[in-house]
A and B are shown apart, each in its own frame.
Chain A
Amino acid sequence: VVMTQSPLSLPVTLGQPASISCRSSQGLLHSDGNTYLTWFQKRPGQSPRRLVWEVSNRDSGVPDRFSGSGSGTDFTLKISRVEAEDVGVYYCMQGTHWPRTFGQGTKVEIK
Chain B
Amino acid sequence: EEQVVESGGGLVQSGGSLRLSCAASGFSFSDYWMSWVRQAPGKGLEWVASIKVDGSEKYYVDSVKGRFTISRDNAKNSLYLQMNSLRGEDTAVYYCAKGAFGPEFWGQGTLVTVSS
Contacts and interface: CB of A to CB of B under 8 A. Distances in A.
Chain B binds chain A: yes
B26 to A, nearest CB: 14
A106 to B, nearest CB: 10
> What band does the interface of chain B fall in when counting residues whose beta carbon is under 8 Å from A?
20 to 34
A93 B47 CA distance: 9
A48 B61 contact: no
A42 to B, nearest CB: 7
Contacts of B107: 47
Nearest to A91: B45
Interface residues of A, number: 26
Interface of A: 34, 36-38, 40, 42, 47-50, 53-54, 59, 89, 91, 93, 95-96, 98-105
Top 7 nearest A-B pairs by Cβ distance?
A38-B102, A95-B101, A100-B47, A47-B106, A53-B102, A105-B44, A36-B101
B69 interface: no
A47 B47 contact: no
14 contacts: A38-B101, A40-B45, A48-B45, A50-B104, A53-B102, A59-B104, A91-B44, A93-B45, A93-B47, A95-B101, A98-B59, A100-B59, A103-B44, A105-B45
Given A50-B105, A53-B104, 4 more contacts: A93-B45, A95-B100, A99-B61, A100-B59
Interface in B87-116: 95, 100-109
B73 interface: no
Given A93-B102, A95-B102, A99-B60, A47 B108 contact: yes
B46 interface: yes
B41 to A, nearest CB: 13
A50 B103 contact: yes
A56 to B, nearest CB: 12
A101 B47 contact: yes
